């Protein structure tokens, strides 16, 4: 058993596809034990290629990957035994019953059949699929299929769980319940690596983050550190009385979306009290206020557009 520093270590990972496309240009990435880690990037940035290589579904061109201290190339068994994967696309046999999919998956990891049935019961109940255990997977709804893939990935009690857009296409209620579930298993010690296009999801759940663009990591730090880089926030105000033009509010730049909706940019350190004083002076009454967009989304867009 190797001494474990990081749950996942990636060194100088490169991947060039047969058509010459350089998907990864020497990635270095460490994910700490117990972390809830976000791996973000626009479509085609290289996220899925990294995940594919870590999961042994894609052959790397060069570089090293270690999972729980096991080198994926030299000790694949140890590395794979510690890894659970929830892929982006449904990749179970849709013609198999739900429970059988889980039991088979456990079997591939050497879990005996009686033990696999016990674990399947636990995970199916946790993910609210117990009543569906005898149904064919093809008959499940999209949200149920997503939860089935999470249950399947947990059948061998992995130390690291990789989730590639686990909440894509599921309704907000199920998404929230999946967040709660993932936070619980993370608290129990499972390292989670998440890729998602819902950036509020990453902001809400993850402690650390890496942003990949065009095959290179362009940012790798704590989520709080990244968010502190944001120098302004955009607020949307719903006004009681309609306005014809956007009011001039000293240093605050404002823009009228429609005659009762005002968008205002508030720079870090400017404070919000002065802003409301200015509104009061102009007799503008505010019914409600919200953040225009997710903070992480603003940073993300700024970084990948550079």
Partner 1 sequence: MYLNDNITAYKTILIKEILRFSRIWLQTIIPPAITMGLYFIIFGQLIGSQLSNIDGYTYMDYIVPGLIIMSIITNSYSNVVSSFYGSKFHHHIEELLVSPIANITIIAGYISGGIARGLTVGIIVTLVSLFFTQISIASYITAFVVAILTATLFSLAGLINAIFANSFDDISIVPTFILTPLTYLGGVFYSIEMLPEFWRNISLFNPVLYMVNGFRMGMLGVSDASLATAIMIIIGFIVLLTSICLWLLNSGIGIKK
- From candidates 2, 110, 169, 271, binder to partner 1 by CB under 8 A: 110
Rounded to 5 degrees, what are φ and ψ at 178? -70, -35
Task: For residues 102 and 124, give the distance between their C-alpha atoms in angstroms, rounded to a whole number.
Answer: 9
Instruction: Examine residue 55 and tell whether it contacts partner 1 (CB under 8 A).
Output: yes
* Binding residues for partner 1 restricted to 1-20, rule: CB under 8 A: 17
Binding mask 148-177 for partner 1 (x = CB under 8 A): ----x-------------------------
Strands 6-16 and 83-86: unpaired
If one asks whether residue 21 binds partner 1 (CB under 8 A), the answer comes out as: no
Residue 161 is encoded by which pair of tokens?
Answer: 């769980």
Give the list of residues 6+ apart from residue 108 with CB closer than 8 angstroms, or none.
none
Using rule CB under 8 A, residue 109 touches partner 1: yes
- If one asks whether residue 142 binds partner 1 (CB under 8 A), the answer comes out as no
Closest CB 179 distance from partner 1, rounded Å: 24
Residue indicated by tokens 């129990």: 188
Q: In this structure, are residues 120 and 155 in contact, taking their beta carbons and an 8 Å threshold?
A: yes
Cβ-in-10-Å burial (0-12, 13-18, 19+) of 89 comes to exposed
Task: Figure out which of the listed residues 3, 19, 20, 89 binds partner 1, where binding follows CB under 8 A.
Answer: 89
**x/- letters, 59..78, toward partner 1 (CB under 8 A):** x----------------xxx
81 binds partner 1, rule: CB under 8 A: yes
Neighbours of 37 (CB within 10 A): 27
Region for 97 from its dihedrals, namely left if φ exceeds 0, alpha if ψ lies in -120 to 50, beta otherwise: beta
Cβ closest to partner 1, residue 104 vs residue 183: 104
- Give contact residues for partner 1 (rule: CB under 8 A): 17, 52, 55-59, 76-78, 80-81, 83, 85, 87, 89-96, 100, 103-105, 107-113, 152
């Amino acid at each position: 058993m190797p001494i474990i520093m990081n749950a996942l270590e990636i060194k100088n990972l490169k991947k060039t596809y047969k058509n010459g496309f350089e998907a990864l240009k020497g990635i270095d990435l460490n994910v700490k034990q117990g972390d809830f880690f976000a791996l973000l990037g626009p479509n085609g940035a290289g996220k899925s290629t990294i995940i594919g290589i870590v999961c042994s579904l894609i052959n790397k061109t060069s570089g090293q990957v270690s999972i729980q201290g096991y080198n994926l190339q030299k000790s694949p068994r140890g590395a794979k035994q510690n890894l659970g994967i929830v892929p982006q696309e449904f990749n179970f046999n849709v013609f198999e019953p739900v429970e059988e999919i889980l039991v088979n998956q456990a079997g591939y990891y050497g879990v005996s059949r009686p033990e696999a049935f016990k674990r399947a019961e636990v995970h199916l109940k946790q993910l609210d699929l117990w009543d569906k255990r005898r149904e064919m997977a093809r008959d499940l709804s999209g949200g149920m299929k997503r939860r089935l893939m999470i249950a399947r990935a947990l059948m061998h009690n992995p130390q690291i769980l990789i989730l590639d857009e686990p909440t894509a296409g599921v309704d907000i209620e199920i998404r929230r319940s999946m967040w709660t579930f993932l936070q619980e298993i993370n608290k129990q010690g499972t390292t989670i690596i998440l890729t998602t296009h819902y950036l509020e999801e990453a902001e809400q759940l993850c402690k650390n983050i890496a942003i990949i663009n065009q095959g290179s990591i362009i940012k790798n730090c704590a989520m709080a550190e990244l968010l502190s880089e944001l120098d302004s926030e955009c607020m949307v105000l719903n006004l009681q009385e309609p306005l014809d033009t956007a009011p001039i509010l000293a240093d605050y730049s404002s823009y009228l979306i429609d005659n009762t909706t005002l968008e205002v940019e508030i720079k870090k350190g400017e404070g919000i009290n002065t802003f409301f004083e200015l509104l009061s002076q102009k007799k503008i009454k505010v019914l409600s206020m919200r953040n225009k967009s997710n903070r992480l989304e603003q940073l993300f867009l700024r970084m990948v557009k550079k």
